[in-house]
Amino acid sequence: MTREMQPPIRQPIGFWTVRAGEAIGRRTRARLADVGVAQPEWWVLHQLSLHPAGLDDDTMIATVGPNAGDDAIVAAIASVIANGWVERRGDRLWSTSAGHDRFEVAAQVQRELEAERRHGISDDDYETTIRVLQRTIANVGGDAWHW
C-alpha cells in the first residue's frame, strides 16, 4: 500500500536520516553476516587493508570508534584476533592471510551493497546529499567526522 506524503520540502530531515541509517545498517549487517563477518569486524579488517604496516589499537579505535563506540571496536579487535584474521605483533594489529581472504569476501559484499544503495542516484546527487547532511550537522552544533 502506498500512502500519500507531504512534499519533501515539508518533511523533517532528521526523520529521513534516521530511517536511512537504520535501513542501511540492517541491510549491511545482514549481508555481512551471510559471509560470517560482523560489521565492526569489517571496519577493523577494512582499516588494516588500508594500512599494510598495521595499526595500533588507539589509532584503530580513534578511526572507527565513531561508527559504533569504542567498546564495540575493542570487542571487534578481540573477535578478529580470536578468528585468526588479525594478529598482534608488538603494539600493532596486522591482517593474517586468513584475514586478507575474509576481507576480500566482505569487500565484495560491500561493493555490491554500495551499488545497490547508489542505484539511480547520480554522483552529483550523492555528493550534494552528503554535503547537505554535513551542513545540517554543523548548523545544529553537531560534530561529525569520517575518514
Domain boundaries, the chain: 26-137
Q: CATH assignment of 26-137?
A: 1.10.10.10
Express each pLDDT in 95-127 by its tens digit.
999 999 999 999 999 999 999 999 999 999 999
Quick one: how far is CA 20 from the chain centroid? 14
pLDDT at position 90 is 95
Q: Which residues contact 53 (CB under 8 A, 6 or more apart)?
A: 92
Express each pLDDT in 37-49 by its tens digit.
999 999 999 999 9
Record the pTM: 0.89
pLDDT at position 49 is 97
DSSP-derived 3-state class of residue 11: coil
pLDDT at position 56 is 97
Mean pLDDT to the nearest integer, 15-37: 97
